[in-house]
Amino acid sequence: MGAENNNDGDEYYYYKYKKKEVMVLGTVLVFASVAVASLLLAFTYYCYLRYKLSKRKAGGINYEEKASDFANIQVATERGLQVFTFKQLHSATGGFAKSNVIGHGAFGLVYRGVLQNGRKVAVKLMDQAGKQGVDEFTAEVELLGRLRSPYLLSLIGYCSVTNRKLLVYEFMANGGLQEHLYPTSGNRTVCSNLNWETRLRIALEAARGLEYLHEHISPPVIHRDFKSSNILLNKNFHAKVSDFGLAKVGSEKAGGHVSTRVLGTQGYVAPEYALTGHLTTKSDVYSYGVVLLELLTGRVPVDMKRPQGEGVLVSWRFLMSRFLGRSCMEVGVPEAAVLLAALGSAIDEDRDKVGEIMDPALEGQYSMKEVIQVAAIAAMCVQPEADYRPLMADVVQSLVPLVKIHRPSKAVQRFISFLGTWNVEEVFDNPYLPI
């Protein structure tokens, strides 16, 4: 009996031990399963994130750029600029149709567009994502976002999505001045209405644009690419300065300069800037003088198909020969002084020689006195020595008396005065009027 009881006790303890062993093993297996499942879940989630990230990269989404875009939107809103989506501008330009191309520059193509609210705009699409293109885009947004002048082209807004950069401007119905000065250039013919009075007004309004940049902004802004193609005309042929992609903030010191690599358009670049890279507001004054000569002569700044010595418009020898004859070049007097002295007496002594430089499209319909005055301003602006060139404020003051302000005729004035004597309420209350 005692042996049997001992065996029963052993079996009891054996089964109890086995039961605990099974329970511990089960617990271990459960925890191991949970751990493995957690690892699988974590790995699956990791793979899912990698997949989503690769899809977003393939779609061109750059999160750093997105954050920058949000910052840009805030800045643009503060500056009154509208941030467009690419889809909006694609729709506005008819899918960037070739038929809507109205211009082409170093930045890219410019398209005519119509926004959803019916407003006509010009959309400039950057055709290359190089550093210079991005820098020009940034310069225009930064500058035009803070510049406010009726003589500068207004920037309405922009679009910046990955490598797509677009600028949206007010629409100028008559395009660039260059198209009207040289109507046979390019692939289309432009019907020009550039009579003498219109040219004078364009010259004054463009001068006011540069005056604003140089003397109403601190530090001054140097356009650096002022030329006839960057003067845009609205439907009434009023002018605005455009294209600030190469613009540079100038020195705050009087007579100071900023050093930069030489950029610009051949024929318009000031000689001291081309030689040294020293950029000042007087560099723009030189370019403005070239545009004045274009308005006078109807000639492009550089045309090497012309006779020797006449290929460059800003050629003192060419201008001298027209005003004074080639013999004057032998006089040992500074050329600018000789020219200005000649201008004073040319009205009475030799009108024909003055007329030789004028644009044939004007057909002689201009005031000889005004021509001489404008030629004198141009001569001072294109002086080889920058210090001898005038300020744009001086140019504006010189041009103001030449630009005629069109007032209503006497008959129209009398009619307006007559209307002013009427009692408007009595007119509308008269039962015999078909109103």
Measure Cα distances from 31 to 25, 27, 40 in Å.
10, 6, 14
The separation between the first and the last C-alpha atoms of the chain, rounded to the nearest angstrom, is 135
What is the residue whose two structure tokens read 């006449």? 310
Beta bridge partners of 164: 161
Question: Among 301, 315, 288, which Cα is nearest to 386's?
Answer: 288
- Asked if residue 384 lies in contact with residue 398, where contact means CB atoms within 8 angstroms, the answer is no
- Asked if residue 385 lies in contact with residue 270, where contact means CB atoms within 8 angstroms, the answer is no
Q: Rounded distance, CA 396 to CA 374, Å?
A: 11
Q: Rounded distance, CA 213 to CA 49, Å?
A: 51
The amino acid present at 315, given as its one-letter code, is S
Residue by residue, DSSP assigns 52-69 as HHHHHHHTT--HHHHHHH
Q: What share of the chain is helix, strand, coil (3-state, %, to 5)?
A: 55, 10, 35
Name the DSSP letter for residue 176: B
Bond into 219 cis (ω within 30): yes
Q: How many CB atoms lie within 10 A of CB 317?
A: 14
| Element housing 83 (H / E) | strand 82-83
Q: Rounded distance, CA 93 to CA 110, Å?
A: 10
What is the residue whose two structure tokens read 């001045």? 177
User: Exposure of 230 by Cβ count < 10 A (0-12 exposed, 13-18 middle, 19+ buried)?
Assistant: buried
Structure tokens at 145: 């976002």
Question: Among 294, 100, 311, 104, which Cα is nearest to 182's?
Answer: 294
Instruction: Region of 190 please: left (phi>0), alpha (psi -120 to 50) or beta.
Output: beta
Catalytic residue among 8, 10, 127, 225: 225
User: Exposure of 291 by Cβ count < 10 A (0-12 exposed, 13-18 middle, 19+ buried)?
Assistant: buried
Say whether 303 is catalytic: no
Give the list of residues 6+ apart from residue 125 with CB closer than 8 angstroms, or none.
96, 108, 109, 110, 111, 164, 165, 166
The annotation status of 305 as a binding-site residue, yes or no, is no
Catalytic center residues = 225
Binding residue positions? 124
Binding residue positions for ATP? 124
